[in-house]
């Protein structure tokens, strides 16, 4: 039997043997549609000329398929069923003679998939059996298929992937993504970066986003994920506006930026990186170890658990970033050039793995310039100057634009004079719940995870004597102590008569100023240094922001306390060492006691709070570093220690002394040290010192909370 299967592409109805559509009267081209060969005559059920009936019932209920037992809707064909090259007709039914895909319980010929040779699009035709055929839950007679559509027949589902059929059960809880009329403009540019971009991605599809540099690929992905809300248009997730389901969307989505290596911590091992990531994003599970091993094995990272992130190549770091993203079991993955910097073998492995992820029912959107593997995509989205000019199967790109190879296509796209070959489909606004992702980590777990990461980063070093603990708690305070001891030895000695001057207030002020300086200098770069893609995305991926700032504040507090303790111990030791002076034989000793720790710790914590505030306000690390000396000079000049305001008269001296007493952090520390040495009452000065510390604590943390969130949004462009 060689009768062609004719369908009018305009009226979407089957055409009788006269080749004329009964509705519009157009003659259907025989070359567009395939013919049936070596099959029974099924033309009567294909040439009815009837429209698809209205759907008067819901989708079929999914039945369990028991292996080895024949039940209605039992699939006998091994999936995935890949269409052979050149195949244009795929039959589904229970007859082994008629069907390519055999389903027990169906009609002998249940439905037929037909390829329109001209448009390269597949259609599904119900062959008129008593069992209805559905697509995405809607009963159909004739339907144009899109990759990711779920075909329902006799109690089971198949997923259409453009070039194959797969089990459709896994896509039931997937994530669909619809972008509608997204437009993004910037001041000073005549053309928009994104110009009315619209497309729909269904669950289980692997989509490639192609286009020349500057065409808007990264801008598109950043606005879908929510790194920037500067656009007009809509982003729908399972029919919901993305901003209305922001929390659920974050839990179901993973994003991999171009510079993923900045989101990793080079001083940690791969095992520690995974452990810290889990503590921030996931609750503990008995399957943690197995999931880690499976994820690393799938990406070719087995056996590298003890390797330092800094020792990995760029390609391996990208695979680590993908492995971490997969641990959250995302249903939607947005990847910005994941194959950049990979060798051809690693690139092929990665793209095949992403293809496998999509085949599990997850939605994968991948920005890429790697055109050698474009055939792996279910569809490709081609952008030119911010416009969608093509969205469909990869094999149709070159014929559509009438070019011979991908290089010619990119040259054509870069010119900007490209005709769009994409017709915008109707938007499906049917809403469904987003799949439930794994439970997010608790507040306490997030604090513990951040603290563990800070500790591991701080303690790791290749050389012990140049490690951060030794630098922070030995070399840095030791250098200050030695300089302070020598300077004060000369300052306290009067050569005329050999009588020492006991100006302990000056010594206390210099000590307080020293630890204040180290506190503000060490903390001023913490927050601004971590304002990079991956660290910001921790907050965007539902990681508690309170947990981050709490752990960072606790870490700063602990560092300042240990540093003040180290400084006090070294100062006590150095004060007892005799230092002979050049001008006489007098040996000066300084009686410094352990109570100095209280005012020095307060001064160090105040410096740390100032440093965190500076770090949150600054946009770049160099800006934070440049502000620190100015604050230290103010603390030096307006502390009523070196420049005295007590002896002056007039409004200026009164105002200056008020500012010194009220705002300068080293003033009350020096006063308390003087009373400690004199053995007088400590409570008044201690009360003022603690009150000032509490006020700085409240104000600094409020500034950090406000400006850190603001700066992250500015950095992200939101």
The residue length of the chain stands at: 718
Mean pLDDT confidence for 331-356: 79
Mean pLDDT confidence for 391-410: 83
Separation between Cα atoms, residue 144 and residue 13, nearest integer Å? 11
- 85 burial level (CB within 10 Å; 0-12, 13-18, 19+): exposed
pLDDT at 549 over 70: yes
Q: What is the pLDDT of residue 489?
A: 60
Question: Which residues does residue 68 pair with via DSSP β-bridges, in sequence order?
Answer: none
Helix (H) or strand (E) holding 608: helix 597-617
Instruction: State the pLDDT confidence band at 601, using cuts at 50, 70 and 90.
Output: very high
Q: How far is CA 658 from CA 233, 477, 651, 652, 675, in A?
A: 56, 31, 10, 10, 21
Mean pLDDT confidence for 226-234: 83
Instruction: State the pLDDT confidence band at 652, using cuts at 50, 70 and 90.
Output: low
Report for 250-259, 272-281, 608-617, 658-667: range of highest mean pLDDT: 608-617
Please tell me whether the peptide bond between 22 and the residue prior to it is cis, using omega within 30 degrees of 0: no
Separation between Cα atoms, residue 210 and residue 382, nearest integer Å? 5
- Residues 61, 142: contact at Cβ < 8 Å? no
Q: Minimum mean pLDDT among 454-458, 605-609, 675-679: which range? A: 675-679
pLDDT at 574 over 50: yes
Mean pLDDT confidence for 696-703: 90
H-assigned helices in 418-503? 443-459, 468-470, 476-492
Instruction: State the pLDDT confidence band at 348, using cuts at 50, 70 and 90.
Output: confident
Instruction: State the pLDDT confidence band at 118, using cuts at 50, 70 and 90.
Output: confident
Q: Which two tokens stand for residue 9?
A: 């592409």
Angle of CA points 348, 275, 352, to nearest 5°: 10
Tens-place pLDDT, residues 122-164: 888 887 767 778 887 778 888 888 777 788 887 778 888 777 8
- Residues 367, 225: contact at Cβ < 8 Å? no
Angle of CA points 111, 114, 118, to nearest 5°: 165
Q: How far is CA 591 from the centre of its chain?
A: 55
Tens-place pLDDT, residues 634-651: 787 777 667 666 666 666
pLDDT at 237 over 50: yes
Q: What is the pLDDT of residue 464?
A: 61
pLDDT at 594 over 50: yes
Mean pLDDT confidence for 423-437: 68
Query: Considering Cα of 138, then 140, then 143, then 146, what sign does the dihedral take?
Result: positive
Q: What is the pLDDT of residue 579?
A: 60
Separation between Cα atoms, residue 596 and residue 572, nearest integer Å? 9
Q: How far is CA 266 from the centre of its chain?
A: 18
Q: Specify the higher pLDDT residue, 672 or 493.
A: 672
Mean pLDDT confidence for 285-291: 74
Separation between Cα atoms, residue 703 and residue 695, nearest integer Å? 12
Separation between Cα atoms, residue 528 and residue 290, nearest integer Å? 36
pLDDT at 45 over 50: no
Separation between Cα atoms, residue 324 and residue 636, nearest integer Å? 47
Percent of the chain beyond pLDDT 90?
3
Average pLDDT score over the chain:
76
What values do phi and psi take at 528, rounded to 5?
-70, -30
Q: What is the pLDDT of residue 36?
A: 57
Indicate the pTM of the whole model.
0.64
Instruction: State the pLDDT confidence band at 533, using cuts at 50, 70 and 90.
Output: low
Q: How far is CA 87 from the centre of its chain?
A: 41
pLDDT at 14 over 50: yes
Secondary structure class of 502 (helix, strand, coil): coil
Q: Which two tokens stand for residue 117?
A: 């040779």
What values do phi and psi take at 713, rounded to 5?
-65, -40
- Identify which of 704, 553, 520 has the alpha carbon closest to the alpha carbon of residue 616: 704
Where does 211-354 show beta strands of DSSP type E? 232-237, 240-241, 253-256, 332-336
Separation between Cα atoms, residue 664 and residue 657, nearest integer Å? 10
Tens-place pLDDT, residues 604-631: 999 999 999 999 888 888 888 888 888 8
Separation between Cα atoms, residue 300 and residue 697, nearest integer Å? 48
Tens-place pLDDT, residues 53-102: 333 333 222 233 333 333 346 777 877 787 877 788 888 888 887 788 88
Q: What is the pLDDT of residue 609?
A: 92
């Amino acid at each position: 039997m060689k009768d062609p299967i004719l369908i009018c592409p305009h009226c979407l109805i089957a055409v009788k043997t006269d080749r004329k559509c009964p509705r519009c009267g157009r003659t259907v081209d025989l070359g567009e549609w395939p013919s049936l060969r070596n099959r029974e005559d099924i033309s009567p059920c294909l040439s009815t000329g009837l429209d698809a009936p209205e759907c008067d019932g819901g989708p079929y209920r999914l039945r369990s398929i028991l292996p080895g037992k024949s039940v209605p809707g039992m699939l006998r064909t091994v999936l995935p069923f890949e269409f052979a090259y050149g195949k244009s007709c795929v039959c589904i039914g229970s007859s082994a003679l008629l069907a390519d895909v055999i389903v027990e319980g169906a009609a002998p010929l249940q439905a037929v998939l037909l390829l329109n040779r001209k448009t390269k699009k597949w259609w599904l035709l119900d062959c008129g059996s008593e069992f209805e055929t559905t697509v995405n839950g809607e009963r159909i007679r004739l339907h144009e298929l899109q990759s990711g559509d779920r075909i329902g027949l006799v109690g089971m589902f198949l997923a259409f992937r453009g070039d194959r059929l797969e089990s459709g059960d896994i896509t039931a809880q997937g994530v669909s993504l619809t972008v509608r009329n997204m437009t993004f403009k910037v001041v000073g540019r005549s053309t928009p970066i994104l110009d009315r971009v619209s497309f729909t991605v269904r669950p289980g599809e692997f989509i490639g986003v192609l286009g020349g540099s500057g065409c808007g690929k990264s801008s598109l992905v950043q606005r879908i994920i929510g790194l920037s809300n500067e656009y007009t248009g809509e982003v729908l997730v399972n029919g919901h506006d993305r901003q209305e389901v922001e929390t659920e969307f974050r839990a179901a989505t993973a994003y991999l930026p171009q510079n993923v290596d900045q989101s990793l911590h080079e001083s940690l091992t791969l095992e520690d990186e995974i452990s810290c990531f889990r503590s921030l994003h996931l609750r503990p599970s008995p399957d943690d170890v197995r999931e880690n091993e499976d994820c690393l094995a799938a990406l070719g990272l087995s056996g590298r658990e003890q390797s330092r992130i800094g020792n990995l190549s760029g390609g391996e770091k990208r695979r680590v970033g993908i492995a971490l993203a997969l641990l959250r079991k995302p249903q939607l993955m947005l990847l910005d050039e994941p194959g950049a910097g990979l060798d051809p073998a690693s690139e092929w492995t990665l793209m095949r793995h992403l293809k496998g992820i999509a085949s599990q029912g997850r939605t994968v959107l991948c920005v890429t310039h790697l055109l050698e593997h474009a055939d792996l995509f279910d569809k490709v989205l081609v952008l030119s100057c911010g416009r969608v000019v093509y969205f469909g199967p990869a094999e149709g790109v070159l014929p559509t634009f009438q070019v011979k190879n991908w290089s010619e296509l990119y040259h054509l796209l870069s010119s900007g004079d490209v005709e769009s070959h994409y017709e915008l489909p109707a938007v499906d606004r049917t809403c469904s719940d987003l799949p439930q992702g794994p439970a997010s980590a608790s507040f306490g777990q997030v604090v513990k995870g951040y603290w563990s990461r800070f500790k591991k980063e701080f303690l790791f070093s290749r050389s012990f004597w140049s490690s951060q603990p030794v630098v922070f708690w030995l070399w840095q305070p030791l250098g200050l102590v030695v300089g302070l001891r020598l300077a004060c030895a000369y300052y306290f000695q009067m050569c005329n008569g050999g009588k020492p001057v006991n100006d302990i207030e000056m010594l206390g002020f210099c000590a307080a100023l020293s630890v204040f300086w180290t506190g503000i200098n060490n903390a001023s770069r913490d927050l601004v240094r971590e304002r990079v893609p991956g660290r910001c995305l921790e907050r965007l991926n539902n990681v508690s922001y309170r947990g981050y700032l709490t752990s960072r504040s606790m870490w700063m507090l602990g560092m300042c306390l240990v540093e003040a303790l180290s400084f006090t111990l070294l100062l006590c030791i150095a004060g007892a060492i005799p230092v002979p002076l050049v001008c006489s034989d007098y040996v000066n000793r300084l009686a410094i006691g352990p109570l100095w720790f209280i005012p020095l710790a307060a001064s160090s914590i105040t410096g740390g709070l100032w440093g965190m505030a500076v770090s949150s306000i600054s946009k770049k690390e160099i800006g934070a570093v440049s502000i620190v000396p100015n604050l230290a000079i103010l603390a030096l000049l307006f502390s009523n220690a070196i420049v005295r305001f007590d002896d002056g008269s007039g409004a200026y001296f009164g105002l200056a002394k008020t500012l010194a007493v009220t705002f300068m952090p080293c003033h009350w520390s020096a006063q308390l040290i003087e009373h400690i040495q004199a053995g007088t009452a400590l409570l008044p000065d201690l009360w003022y010192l603690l009150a000032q510390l509490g006020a700085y604590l409240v104000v600094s943390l409020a500034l950090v909370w406000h400006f850190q969130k603001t700066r992250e949004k500015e950095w992200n462009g939101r």
